[in-house]
Amino acid sequence: MPKITLIQHSGESYTVEAADGATVMEVAIDNDIDGIIGECGGCCSCATCHCYIDPAFLDKIPPRGDLETEMLEFASSEAKGNSRLACQVEITEELEGMVVILPETQL
Amino acid sequence: MQRIVVIGAGHASGQLLDSLRRGGSDAHITLVGEESWLPYQRPPLSKRFLSGELTVERLAFRPKSFYEKHDIHTRLSCRAVSIDRDAQTVRLANGEALDYDLLALTTGGRVRKLSVPGAGLTGVHYLRGIDDALGLQADWQGRDNVCVIGGGFVGLEVAASARRLGKNVTVIEMMDRLMGRAVSPAMSGYFLGLHTHNGAHVMCSTGVSELVGIDGRVSGVRLSDGREIPADVVVVGIGVLPNQELAREAGLACDNGIMVDELARTSDPKIVSAGDCTNHPNSLLGRRLRLESVHNALEQAKSAAASLMGGQLPYAQVPWFWSDQYNSKLQMVGLSQGFDFAVQRGNPDEDKFSLFYYRGNVLIAIDSVNCPGDHMAGKKLIAAGISPSPGQAADPEFPLKSLL
């Protein structure tokens, strides 16, 4: 199981084991890490699991879909080039060591 | 130590527990759930879970470790049968009594049952909980003809999942259009086309008079005009009723739901309630209503948790809902009932469009298909009371964001 690090807006950092096939959103919920909400349960409907992905890993994950890109435009914290919805990023072995920054707010 | 008992284990319950502990409550908390499951996500049951893309573990609202870490006592497979408000106790089905200082009712809803002859045959399913979904999944293995009674969200999502698995699907709806309670005729028309295009047979303005069977198992659906549709499996989705009996029998005010105020307080100051089971006021809409929605359950639960901790977090939210059918993502914000006119943005033929609903000059709701940007903008516009002109709404090139 790869380890990834989630860093909250406050700077608090959590390095956790992430199950293959889980999404980054699920990893945050499973580890009780504040900063990811996932109101819709992970079906790209609510934009409350916005996160910023370590740019070094962006090419190791499939690119954003059209719906995800549109949702991100209206996320509560500013969307950047490395913004993703955490429910759309699936964990693979290749993501060992990935750092995910959580935004100031999701609502 | 203060004792809080939470009855019901759905979305509202899960959120309430989370909000209590994150809000710093150190109360002794007991969760009472009738099902054997900790709070879980219901929406996937008719969609990705039913079609086999999600495991049961992935449905959990919070992992089991959450309840252990936050010292939440769980009493599952355990039904609360009565509340004694004078003694401040909850009686469980096994005869045990739980004392409370504060009580939360997150009892949700239950499915409305079909009341025609044959409704009790084997092979007739409803879908509300995990056990229902597991039962349906097991039962339709190797059975091809699925008949869905009710063309609302659950029925249509089940129909889409069944089509995805290659089954022959008939949808029978009593009203003259699909999802008639929730969306406008134009949107109903789009979804009729979508289901038909994907091979489901949809019959609107059609009643059911009887379910017919062979050796105790359903074999067909008799329509009110006498015709019979062959069916190996029947799924009924004809609405949800609020679980208010526990509250009503305890003398709490109920009227199509447990009556609460904007702070999720019932008529008893020691009891709050949140989610599908409540009849609540919404100052943004200017009226009371009962909603069956995840968003309502979560947000009202936050208000309820605040009230339990002695704070005040008034509930005033623009309702929003979603439904995934085939490759069409329907997102709805606001309530469109009673609109004067609708403006279309985008193109239904490309499965990408929104309908903007106006009352007078005021935007009251948006239904979007594969246009999450319109939906997200709509959430903010409606909450802020900003209405794009109909001309702006109709022009996909006009940036709604510029109004915010």
Q: What is the pLDDT of residues B345-400, one digit of tens each?
A: 999 999 999 999 999 999 999 999 999 999 999 999 999 999 999 999 999 999 99
What residues in B contact A41, CB-CB < 8 Å? 41, 43-44, 294
Interface of A with B (CB under 8 A): 22, 26, 29-30, 32, 34, 39-41, 43-47, 67, 70-71, 73-74
Q: Does B44 touch chain A if contact means CB atoms closer than 8 Å?
A: yes
**How far is Cα of residue B312 from the mean position of the Cα atoms in its chain?**
26
Pick the residue from chain B with its C-alpha nearest to A107: B380
Inform me whether the pLDDT recorded for A20 exceeds 90.
Answer: no
At B199 the pLDDT is 98
Tokens of A107: 């609502």
Average pLDDT of span A19-43: 95
Separation CA A19–CA B8 (nearest Å): 30
Tell whether B48 lies on the interface with A, counting CB pairs under 8 A. Answer: yes
pLDDT digits (tens, 9 = 90+) for B180-227: 999 999 999 999 999 999 999 999 999 999 999 999 999 999 999 999
pLDDT of residue B304: 98
CA distances from B246 to A7, A65, B29, B73, B107 (A): 44, 46, 20, 21, 9
**Closest approach of A46 to chain B, Cα-based (Å):** 8
Cα B245 to Cα B7, B49, B129, B254, distances in angstroms: 13, 30, 19, 9
Structure tokens, B373: 């940007």
Asked if the C-beta of B402 comes within 8 angstroms of chain A's C-beta atoms, the answer is: no
pLDDT tens track for B64-113? 999 999 999 999 999 999 999 999 999 999 999 999 999 999 999 999 99
Q: Does an H or E element contain A13, and which?
A: strand A13-17
Where does the pLDDT of residue B309 fall: very low under 50, low under 70, confident under 90, or very high at 90 and above?
A: very high
Nearest CA in chain A to B297: A39
Write out chain A residues lying below 8 Å of B58, CB-based. 22, 26
Closest alpha carbon to B372 in B340, B332, B314: B332
Q: In sequence order, which residues have a C-beta less than 8 Å from that of residue B45 and are 6 or more positions away? A: B59, B127, B128, B129, B130, B132, B133
